[in-house]
Amino acid sequence: MLHTAPCEAAPVSCTDDTGTVITLEAPARRIIALYGAFNEILVEMGQSGRIVARTDADEAIPALAGLPAIGTHMRPNPELVAGLAPDLILQMEGRREAATSVDALRALGIPVAVFRVASFGDLFSVLHRMGTLTGAEQDAAALEARWTARLDTVAGAIARQPHDTGTADGKDHTQHPPRVVFEVRYPNLLAAGADSIVNDIITRAGGVNAVQQPGRVVRLNEEELLRMAPDAYVYQYGPMNPTPVAPDQRPHFTALDAIRDGRVLKVDEHAFSRPGPRSVEAVEQLARFLHPAAFDTNTTTARN
């Protein structure tokens, strides 16, 4: 695939999600993304050659494995960062520690763009702005088109599915989407709330998030979970939920029809809870779980 060569002369500018105007004299050539999925986006755009460092957590990304590490995404080492002379840093809006590091890096005179991603609309907006800041707008537009085509394939398959019981719970969900609980962490149960990328993943996969409280994550007790009576239960494994016990091995969880009947899906945290290229993969995986009949009868794969 050919990628556009960013224009090296013209200034570029965008507004980040804190309202800060980021203006560069020329498209960024030395980028440090403190949030791993932003690195993945740059790689997908064909701009990996502009990434000059990684965080400790991003060594698993093949294109970044040989780059110097500058600390964690929440607490990067300012001296190491400054020594690499980046002309742009990308950060995800998050906890107070992240905001503190952004302030420290900006105090060094380094432009820092902070983005918020709680939906695919947000993800596409970030993609556009990353295209602007790198001068690679055409590559960003092409990547959005590929993602959109895959999402449209999923939506089309669900819309065309037969009106039968070929769903994860044996019910006809062509008119009533299955209600899903997405576990972020257990014990001390945290679930994905209405303001999370997971909420949009569930929706685009043909389900509805049973947890409609505001926030990215919502604390639930077992009584609340039982009252929700979800049609399907999805739980992640990864840094936030490193060693989850299978739900059917937990006290009280077997009172849920979804658990008793095996309508349970274990998923990779990096695909579902880290907004980026793998979010599209997450929609495809969840849609096939919730609506298997739709994909049994659809011979076109969701991935281009």
- Domain CATH code at residue 68: 3.40.50.1980
Same domain, 122 and 179: no
Same domain, 130 and 203: no
Strand order in the sheet with 112-115: 31-33, 88-92, 112-115
Q: Which residues pair with 112 in a beta bridge?
A: 89
Q: What is this structure's pTM?
A: 0.91
pLDDT score, position 192: 99
Residues of the chain with pLDDT under 50: 1-2, 298-304
Instruction: Give the helix/strand (H/E) hosting 125.
Output: helix 120-134
Q: Is residue 2 part of a domain?
A: no
- Domain end call among 111, 135, 159: 135
pLDDT score, position 251: 87
Alpha helix positions (H), 160-214: 197-204
Same domain, 287 and 197: yes
CA distances from 150 to 55, 205, 228 (A): 30, 12, 31
pLDDT score, position 2: 42
pLDDT score, position 53: 98
pLDDT score, position 95: 73
Q: Is residue 160 part of a domain?
A: no
271 vs 284: CA distance, rounded Å:
11
Burial class of residue 214 (count of CB atoms within 10 Å of its CB; 0-12, 13-18, 19+): exposed
33 vs 35: CA distance, rounded Å:
5
pLDDT score, position 94: 82
Same domain, 105 and 222: no
Q: Is residue 46 part of a domain?
A: yes
Domain count, the chain: 2
Q: Are strands 179-185 and 190-192 parallel, antiparallel or unpaired?
A: antiparallel
